[in-house]
């Protein structure tokens, strides 16, 4: 069946989650952070995802902002950074994550081709509103869908179900796009067509579903869609 909607994960897919630590490390007086920011960014993201999975399993749901802050606190302790001012700087910068360079043109091309476009994210509505505004991509999005509508994080099928209820699109008509291999794999098992944006060249996750398509970034996504 033809693809009529492209649905994107937000963090790490459209928006650069490493930017908060990178930008903070460039500020004057942040020599300690500058020495460890790649590790902090990696740990922050890893713990953020781990906490969403664990909370999805246990049913102890909180907002994605709470999860993000808990993950930052873990990452800062692991990096030996005890600095309340830096903590608040990093938290503030997470609301100002830039879109990857290819994102505006890619979304504009999809819209020009008549595609429905949307975000489906673990992010809370206020976080997503801020990211879309700062990234300057709202003009090319039909919907921004948050897991808060169902109170559980991905990869719960309750989250993926939101696409049909909000967009009115059958799963067979949806290309789900994520930079998270596990997300693309689970979305495949759910029944979406999928594209994994494998920016880091990682191995494929050993899960029941496998991403149908693998790209190094989003530049060629409109071409892929035309061929489906």
Active site residues per annotation: 9
Contact 154, 190 (CB under 8 A): no
- CA-based torsion, 165, 166, 168, 172: positive or negative: negative
How large is the angle between the packed helices 64-78 and 125-135, nearest 10 degrees? 80
CA gap 203, 205 in Å, rounded = 6
Q: φ, ψ for residue 15 (rounded to 5)?
A: -120, 140
CA gap 145, 149 in Å, rounded = 8
Q: What b/e sequence results for 188-197 when a residue is b if at least 16 CB atoms lie within 10 Å of its CB, and e otherwise?
A: bebebbbbbb
């Amino acid at each position: 069946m033809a693809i009529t909607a492209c649905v994107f994960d937000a963090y790490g897919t459209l928006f650069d989650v490493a930017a908060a630590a990178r930008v903070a490390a460039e500020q004057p007086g942040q020599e300690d952070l500058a020495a460890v920011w790649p590790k902090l960014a990696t740990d922050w993201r890893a713990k953020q995802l781990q906490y969403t999975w664990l909370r999805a399993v246990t049913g102890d749901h909180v907002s994605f902002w709470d999860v993000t802050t808990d993950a930052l606190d873990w990452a800062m302790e692991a990096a030996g950074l005890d600095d309340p001012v830096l903590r608040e700087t990093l938290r503030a910068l997470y609301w100002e994550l830039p879109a990857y360079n290819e994102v505006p043109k890619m979304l504009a091309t999809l819209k020009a081709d008549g595609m429905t476009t949307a975000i489906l994210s673990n992010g809370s509505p206020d976080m997503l509103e801020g990211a879309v505004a700062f990234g300057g991509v709202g003009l090319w999005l039909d919907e921004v869908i948050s897991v808060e509508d169902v109170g559980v994080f991905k990869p719960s099928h309750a989250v993926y179900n939101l696409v049909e209820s909000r967009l009115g699109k059958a799963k067979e008509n949806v290309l789900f796009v994520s930079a998270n291999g596990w997300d693309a794999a689970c979305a495949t098992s759910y029944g979406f067509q999928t594209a994994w944006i494998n920016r880091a060249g990682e191995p494929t996750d050993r899960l029941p579903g496998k991403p149908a398509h693998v790209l190094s970034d989003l530049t060629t996504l409109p071409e892929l869609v035309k061929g489906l």
